[in-house]
Amino acid sequence: MASRLPIQACRSYQSIFQQLPQTSSRCRQSLQSQFLPKWSTRSYSTPPQPINHNTNATPESASSSPQHRDLRSQFPSQPISLPSSPSSPKQKRSLRPTIYASLFLLIGLTAGQYVSLVLSPPALPEPSSPPDELMTSWLHAQASKIPLVQSLTEDPIWQSWDAYSTFTPEERPHRLTTGPLGGSRSIGGYQRVFYNSTTGEFISVVYLGGATGGWPGVVHGGLIATIMDESLGRCAIRQLAAGTGVTAQLTMQYLKPSVTNAFYVVRCMPILGEEGGGERKRWVEGRLETLEGRVCVEAKGLFVAPKNYKTRIITGGF
Protein backbone atom coordinates (compact mmCIF):
# COMPACT_ATOMS: atom_id res chain seq x y z
CA MET A 1 0.00 0.00 0.00
CA ALA A 2 2.88 2.32 0.80
CA SER A 3 4.33 1.88 -2.67
CA ARG A 4 1.10 3.13 -4.32
CA LEU A 5 0.79 6.36 -2.32
CA PRO A 6 3.07 8.46 -4.54
CA ILE A 7 1.20 7.33 -7.64
CA GLN A 8 -2.19 8.21 -6.05
CA ALA A 9 -0.91 11.64 -5.08
CA CYS A 10 0.42 12.28 -8.55
CA ARG A 11 -2.90 11.34 -10.14
CA SER A 12 -4.79 13.59 -7.70
CA TYR A 13 -2.60 16.54 -8.64
CA GLN A 14 -3.17 15.85 -12.32
CA SER A 15 -6.95 15.75 -11.90
CA ILE A 16 -6.85 19.03 -10.00
CA PHE A 17 -4.77 20.70 -12.72
CA GLN A 18 -7.22 19.56 -15.38
CA GLN A 19 -10.18 21.12 -13.51
CA LEU A 20 -8.58 24.57 -13.45
CA PRO A 21 -10.04 27.06 -15.92
CA GLN A 22 -8.32 27.67 -19.22
CA THR A 23 -7.43 31.25 -18.29
CA SER A 24 -5.07 30.03 -15.59
CA SER A 25 -2.93 27.89 -17.91
CA ARG A 26 0.24 29.77 -16.97
CA CYS A 27 -0.37 29.14 -13.32
CA ARG A 28 -1.18 25.51 -14.01
CA GLN A 29 2.11 25.01 -15.87
CA SER A 30 4.12 26.49 -13.01
CA LEU A 31 2.40 24.22 -10.52
CA GLN A 32 2.97 21.19 -12.70
CA SER A 33 6.67 21.98 -12.98
CA GLN A 34 6.93 22.20 -9.18
CA PHE A 35 4.98 19.12 -8.12
CA LEU A 36 4.69 16.61 -10.92
CA PRO A 37 8.43 15.93 -11.66
CA LYS A 38 9.01 14.87 -8.07
CA TRP A 39 6.58 11.98 -8.48
CA SER A 40 6.66 11.14 -12.17
CA THR A 41 10.42 10.52 -12.46
CA ARG A 42 10.56 7.78 -9.83
CA SER A 43 10.47 4.11 -10.77
CA TYR A 44 8.52 1.44 -8.91
CA SER A 45 8.19 -2.27 -9.07
CA THR A 46 4.57 -1.90 -10.30
CA PRO A 47 4.34 0.25 -13.45
CA PRO A 48 1.95 3.24 -13.15
CA GLN A 49 -1.39 3.19 -14.89
CA PRO A 50 -2.02 5.55 -17.80
CA ILE A 51 -3.39 8.95 -16.80
CA ASN A 52 -7.08 9.40 -17.31
CA HIS A 53 -7.78 12.80 -18.87
CA ASN A 54 -11.48 12.66 -18.09
CA THR A 55 -12.40 15.82 -16.24
CA ASN A 56 -15.31 14.09 -14.56
CA ALA A 57 -13.04 11.63 -12.80
CA THR A 58 -13.53 11.43 -9.07
CA PRO A 59 -10.93 10.69 -6.43
CA GLU A 60 -12.60 7.33 -5.81
CA SER A 61 -12.20 6.27 -9.42
CA ALA A 62 -8.62 7.56 -9.51
CA SER A 63 -7.73 5.70 -6.37
CA SER A 64 -8.81 2.40 -7.88
CA SER A 65 -5.66 0.68 -9.19
CA PRO A 66 -4.74 -2.93 -9.86
CA GLN A 67 -3.35 -4.93 -7.01
CA HIS A 68 0.25 -6.08 -6.80
CA ARG A 69 0.98 -9.15 -8.84
CA ASP A 70 2.64 -11.88 -6.86
CA LEU A 71 5.81 -12.62 -8.80
CA ARG A 72 6.73 -15.52 -6.55
CA SER A 73 4.39 -17.75 -8.51
CA GLN A 74 6.77 -17.50 -11.46
CA PHE A 75 9.55 -19.25 -9.54
CA PRO A 76 9.53 -22.95 -8.75
CA SER A 77 8.75 -23.94 -5.21
CA GLN A 78 11.60 -26.41 -5.07
CA PRO A 79 15.24 -25.26 -5.42
CA ILE A 80 16.80 -25.97 -8.77
CA SER A 81 19.53 -28.56 -8.58
CA LEU A 82 22.39 -27.83 -10.95
CA PRO A 83 23.95 -30.83 -12.67
CA SER A 84 27.20 -31.71 -11.00
CA SER A 85 30.22 -31.61 -13.27
CA PRO A 86 31.84 -35.01 -13.77
CA SER A 87 34.93 -35.40 -11.65
CA SER A 88 38.10 -35.37 -13.72
CA PRO A 89 40.08 -38.64 -13.61
CA LYS A 90 43.09 -38.63 -11.35
CA GLN A 91 46.22 -38.10 -13.42
CA LYS A 92 49.08 -40.52 -13.02
CA ARG A 93 52.28 -39.13 -11.60
CA SER A 94 55.01 -38.81 -14.23
CA LEU A 95 58.14 -40.91 -13.76
CA ARG A 96 60.29 -38.48 -15.76
CA PRO A 97 61.64 -36.54 -12.71
CA THR A 98 62.58 -39.81 -11.01
CA ILE A 99 64.34 -41.09 -14.12
CA TYR A 100 66.26 -37.83 -14.57
CA ALA A 101 67.27 -37.76 -10.91
CA SER A 102 68.52 -41.35 -11.06
CA LEU A 103 70.43 -40.67 -14.27
CA PHE A 104 72.15 -37.57 -12.90
CA LEU A 105 72.97 -39.41 -9.67
CA LEU A 106 74.58 -42.25 -11.62
CA ILE A 107 76.60 -39.83 -13.75
CA GLY A 108 77.74 -37.93 -10.66
CA LEU A 109 78.82 -41.10 -8.83
CA THR A 110 80.68 -42.41 -11.88
CA ALA A 111 82.46 -39.10 -12.51
CA GLY A 112 83.36 -38.76 -8.84
CA GLN A 113 84.77 -42.28 -8.72
CA TYR A 114 86.81 -41.67 -11.87
CA VAL A 115 88.21 -38.36 -10.58
CA SER A 116 89.12 -39.93 -7.23
CA LEU A 117 90.95 -42.78 -8.97
CA VAL A 118 92.85 -40.35 -11.20
CA LEU A 119 93.80 -37.86 -8.48
CA SER A 120 94.38 -40.44 -5.75
CA PRO A 121 95.02 -43.84 -7.36
CA PRO A 122 95.52 -46.95 -5.23
CA ALA A 123 99.02 -48.03 -4.29
CA LEU A 124 100.89 -49.71 -7.13
CA PRO A 125 102.71 -53.02 -6.59
CA GLU A 126 106.46 -53.06 -6.11
CA PRO A 127 108.55 -54.68 -8.88
CA SER A 128 109.13 -58.44 -8.50
CA SER A 129 106.53 -58.67 -5.71
CA PRO A 130 103.74 -61.30 -5.85
CA PRO A 131 101.11 -58.67 -6.79
CA ASP A 132 103.44 -57.39 -9.51
CA GLU A 133 103.93 -60.87 -10.94
CA LEU A 134 100.18 -61.41 -10.90
CA MET A 135 99.65 -58.11 -12.70
CA THR A 136 102.34 -58.99 -15.26
CA SER A 137 100.65 -62.32 -16.02
CA TRP A 138 97.33 -60.55 -16.51
CA LEU A 139 98.91 -58.00 -18.89
CA HIS A 140 100.43 -60.78 -21.00
CA ALA A 141 97.03 -62.45 -21.22
CA GLN A 142 95.40 -59.19 -22.31
CA ALA A 143 98.14 -58.45 -24.86
CA SER A 144 97.70 -61.85 -26.48
CA LYS A 145 94.17 -60.75 -27.47
CA ILE A 146 95.37 -57.66 -29.38
CA PRO A 147 94.86 -58.22 -33.14
CA LEU A 148 98.25 -56.68 -34.04
CA VAL A 149 100.09 -58.99 -31.64
CA GLN A 150 98.22 -62.01 -32.97
CA SER A 151 98.96 -61.19 -36.63
CA LEU A 152 102.66 -60.46 -36.07
CA THR A 153 103.11 -63.57 -33.95
CA GLU A 154 101.58 -65.79 -36.63
CA ASP A 155 103.59 -64.19 -39.47
CA PRO A 156 106.92 -66.08 -39.96
CA ILE A 157 108.60 -62.99 -41.44
CA TRP A 158 108.54 -61.27 -38.07
CA GLN A 159 110.83 -62.35 -35.24
CA SER A 160 109.70 -61.53 -31.71
CA TRP A 161 111.06 -61.50 -28.15
CA ASP A 162 110.49 -59.75 -24.84
CA ALA A 163 112.42 -56.50 -24.52
CA TYR A 164 115.69 -56.58 -22.54
CA SER A 165 115.67 -60.37 -22.30
CA THR A 166 119.43 -60.31 -23.08
CA PHE A 167 120.32 -58.85 -19.69
CA THR A 168 120.83 -61.09 -16.70
CA PRO A 169 118.90 -60.65 -13.43
CA GLU A 170 122.05 -59.14 -11.90
CA GLU A 171 122.27 -56.51 -14.63
CA ARG A 172 118.61 -55.48 -14.66
CA PRO A 173 118.57 -53.38 -11.45
CA HIS A 174 121.44 -51.23 -12.80
CA ARG A 175 119.66 -50.17 -15.98
CA LEU A 176 117.05 -47.43 -16.22
CA THR A 177 114.43 -49.32 -18.21
CA THR A 178 114.72 -52.57 -16.24
CA GLY A 179 115.53 -51.10 -12.80
CA PRO A 180 113.68 -47.91 -11.76
CA LEU A 181 111.27 -48.24 -14.70
CA GLY A 182 110.77 -51.97 -14.24
CA GLY A 183 107.65 -53.75 -13.07
CA SER A 184 104.03 -53.55 -14.14
CA ARG A 185 103.66 -50.09 -12.62
CA SER A 186 105.96 -48.64 -15.30
CA ILE A 187 107.11 -50.18 -18.62
CA GLY A 188 108.18 -53.61 -17.38
CA GLY A 189 104.71 -55.16 -17.34
CA TYR A 190 104.63 -55.92 -21.06
CA GLN A 191 106.97 -54.93 -23.90
CA ARG A 192 107.11 -57.23 -26.90
CA VAL A 193 109.48 -56.52 -29.82
CA PHE A 194 108.82 -57.63 -33.41
CA TYR A 195 111.58 -57.40 -36.03
CA ASN A 196 111.41 -57.73 -39.82
CA SER A 197 114.88 -58.63 -41.08
CA THR A 198 113.93 -57.92 -44.69
CA THR A 199 112.95 -54.27 -44.24
CA GLY A 200 114.76 -53.56 -40.97
CA GLU A 201 111.49 -52.36 -39.40
CA PHE A 202 110.80 -52.73 -35.68
CA ILE A 203 107.38 -52.81 -34.04
CA SER A 204 107.09 -52.81 -30.25
CA VAL A 205 103.91 -53.20 -28.21
CA VAL A 206 104.41 -51.68 -24.75
CA TYR A 207 102.19 -51.17 -21.73
CA LEU A 208 102.57 -47.83 -19.90
CA GLY A 209 101.64 -48.36 -16.25
CA GLY A 210 100.20 -46.03 -13.66
CA ALA A 211 103.60 -44.81 -12.40
CA THR A 212 104.54 -43.30 -15.79
CA GLY A 213 102.35 -40.22 -15.40
CA GLY A 214 103.46 -36.62 -15.12
CA TRP A 215 100.06 -34.97 -14.82
CA PRO A 216 97.46 -37.34 -13.33
CA GLY A 217 96.56 -39.88 -15.98
CA VAL A 218 98.94 -38.45 -18.63
CA VAL A 219 102.27 -40.11 -19.47
CA HIS A 220 105.34 -37.98 -18.75
CA GLY A 221 107.04 -36.60 -21.85
CA GLY A 222 110.48 -37.61 -20.57
CA LEU A 223 109.38 -41.22 -20.24
CA ILE A 224 108.09 -41.19 -23.81
CA ALA A 225 111.44 -39.78 -24.94
CA THR A 226 113.19 -42.65 -23.14
CA ILE A 227 111.00 -45.24 -24.87
CA MET A 228 111.54 -43.65 -28.28
CA ASP A 229 115.30 -43.41 -27.68
CA GLU A 230 115.49 -47.10 -26.77
CA SER A 231 113.30 -48.16 -29.71
CA LEU A 232 115.10 -46.02 -32.31
CA GLY A 233 118.49 -47.17 -30.98
CA ARG A 234 117.40 -50.80 -31.24
CA CYS A 235 116.56 -50.21 -34.89
CA ALA A 236 119.77 -48.27 -35.65
CA ILE A 237 122.15 -50.77 -34.06
CA ARG A 238 120.96 -53.44 -36.50
CA GLN A 239 122.21 -51.20 -39.34
CA LEU A 240 125.63 -50.34 -37.83
CA ALA A 241 128.64 -52.51 -38.59
CA ALA A 242 129.96 -52.30 -35.01
CA GLY A 243 126.75 -53.78 -33.59
CA THR A 244 126.55 -51.01 -31.01
CA GLY A 245 126.03 -47.27 -30.86
CA VAL A 246 125.00 -44.24 -28.84
CA THR A 247 122.50 -41.44 -29.35
CA ALA A 248 123.92 -38.40 -31.15
CA GLN A 249 120.70 -36.52 -31.85
CA LEU A 250 117.05 -37.04 -30.96
CA THR A 251 114.14 -34.92 -32.16
CA MET A 252 110.67 -35.31 -30.65
CA GLN A 253 107.34 -33.91 -31.74
CA TYR A 254 104.43 -34.47 -29.35
CA LEU A 255 101.13 -34.45 -31.23
CA LYS A 256 98.60 -35.85 -28.75
CA PRO A 257 98.72 -36.71 -25.04
CA SER A 258 99.28 -40.32 -24.04
CA VAL A 259 97.35 -41.74 -21.10
CA THR A 260 98.61 -44.14 -18.47
CA ASN A 261 97.51 -47.76 -17.98
CA ALA A 262 97.18 -48.42 -21.70
CA PHE A 263 98.88 -50.33 -24.52
CA TYR A 264 100.79 -48.45 -27.22
CA VAL A 265 102.58 -49.34 -30.46
CA VAL A 266 106.06 -48.04 -31.36
CA ARG A 267 107.04 -48.27 -35.04
CA CYS A 268 110.65 -47.61 -36.13
CA MET A 269 112.12 -47.64 -39.63
CA PRO A 270 115.72 -46.92 -40.73
CA ILE A 271 116.20 -44.19 -43.32
CA LEU A 272 117.82 -45.87 -46.32
CA GLY A 273 120.17 -44.40 -48.89
CA GLU A 274 122.77 -41.70 -48.48
CA GLU A 275 120.49 -39.67 -46.22
CA GLY A 276 120.37 -42.57 -43.79
CA GLY A 277 124.12 -42.51 -43.13
CA GLY A 278 126.89 -45.07 -43.48
CA GLU A 279 128.52 -47.82 -41.46
CA ARG A 280 129.25 -45.60 -38.46
CA LYS A 281 126.08 -43.53 -38.27
CA ARG A 282 122.43 -44.14 -39.02
CA TRP A 283 119.30 -41.99 -39.11
CA VAL A 284 116.12 -43.62 -37.85
CA GLU A 285 112.56 -42.32 -37.63
CA GLY A 286 109.63 -43.64 -35.66
CA ARG A 287 106.32 -42.84 -34.03
CA LEU A 288 104.22 -43.77 -31.02
CA GLU A 289 100.65 -44.85 -31.80
CA THR A 290 97.59 -46.06 -30.00
CA LEU A 291 96.16 -49.48 -30.80
CA GLU A 292 93.67 -47.74 -33.09
CA GLY A 293 96.50 -46.15 -35.11
CA ARG A 294 96.30 -42.58 -33.77
CA VAL A 295 99.77 -41.02 -33.82
CA CYS A 296 100.72 -39.42 -30.50
CA VAL A 297 104.46 -38.77 -30.96
CA GLU A 298 106.81 -38.55 -33.93
CA ALA A 299 110.58 -38.90 -33.45
CA LYS A 300 113.79 -38.90 -35.45
CA GLY A 301 117.24 -39.82 -34.18
CA LEU A 302 120.86 -40.10 -35.24
CA PHE A 303 122.94 -42.92 -33.74
CA VAL A 304 126.69 -43.34 -34.16
CA ALA A 305 129.33 -45.89 -33.24
CA PRO A 306 132.00 -44.12 -31.12
CA LYS A 307 135.64 -44.35 -32.26
CA ASN A 308 137.62 -43.94 -29.05
CA TYR A 309 135.18 -45.59 -26.67
CA LYS A 310 134.23 -49.22 -26.77
CA THR A 311 130.68 -50.13 -25.90
CA ARG A 312 129.03 -53.47 -25.39
CA ILE A 313 127.95 -55.24 -28.55
CA ILE A 314 124.21 -55.72 -28.36
CA THR A 315 122.87 -58.90 -29.86
CA GLY A 316 119.86 -61.09 -29.38
CA GLY A 317 116.81 -59.86 -27.54
CA PHE A 318 117.58 -56.23 -26.73
Higher pLDDT, 142 or 36: 142
Mean of pLDDT values over 112-127: 80
Q: Choose among 122, 228, 245: nearest CA to 185.
A: 122
CB count, 10 Å around CB of 186?
21
* pLDDT at 91 > cutoff 50: yes
Q: What is the pLDDT of residues 13-44, one digit of tens each?
A: 555 555 555 545 555 565 555 555 444 444 44
At 3, the pLDDT band (50, 70, 90 cuts) reads very low
For the ranges 5-14, 86-95, 176-185, 305-314, the lowest mean pLDDT is seen at 5-14
> Where do the domains of the chain lie?
130-304
For the ranges 19-28, 119-128, 193-202, the lowest mean pLDDT is seen at 19-28
DSSP state letters, 44-74: -SSPPPPPP--TT--HHHHH--PPPP-GGGG
Whether the CB-CB separation of 214 and 221 falls below 8 Å is answered with yes
CATH fold of 130-304: Thiol Ester Dehydrase; Chain A (3.10.129)
Q: Strand, helix or coil at 31? A: helix
